[in-house]
């Protein structure tokens, strides 16, 4: 959830919000992490479901479990 909270901060700093997210790509360390990503994603976005991809990549930099890329509209 920390990664999505960081996304929230960045979106606000750029004049956007989670309501304007069009697509996310989550790079996860392995398939074992998908359930946790799905749960955090559901909590973060609620009933709104922007397009997304989840990509298992093996080991991530610095021992991270997930990296998230976000495409959002900015006004």
Report the pLDDT value the prediction gives residue 64, as an integer from 0 to 100: 87
Degrees to nearest 5, angle at CA 53 with 16 and 40: 65
Beta strands 66-72 and 21-28 are antiparallel
Tens-binned pLDDT, residue by residue, of the chain (75 aa): 899 999 999 999 999 999 999 999 999 988 888 889 999 999 999 998 899 999 999 888 888 889 999 999 997
Query: CATH number of the domain at 2-72, please?
Result: 3.30.1330.40
Q: Find the Cα–Cα–Cα–Cα dihedral 57, 63, 65, 68, rounded to 10°.
A: -70
Beta strands 21-28 and 51-56 are parallel
Domain boundaries, the chain: 2-72
CA dist 40 and 7 (Å) reads 13
Both tokens assigned to 1: 């959830």
């Amino acid at each position: 959830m920390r990664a999505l909270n960081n996304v929230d901060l960045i979106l606000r700093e750029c004049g956007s919000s989670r309501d304007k997210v069009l697509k996310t790509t989550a790079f996860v360390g392995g398939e074992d992490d998908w359930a946790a990503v799905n749960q955090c994603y559901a909590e973060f976005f609620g009933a709104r479901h922007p397009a997304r991809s989840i990509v298992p990549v093996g080991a991530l930099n610095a021992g991270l479990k997930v990296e998230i890329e976000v495409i959002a509209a900015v006004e």
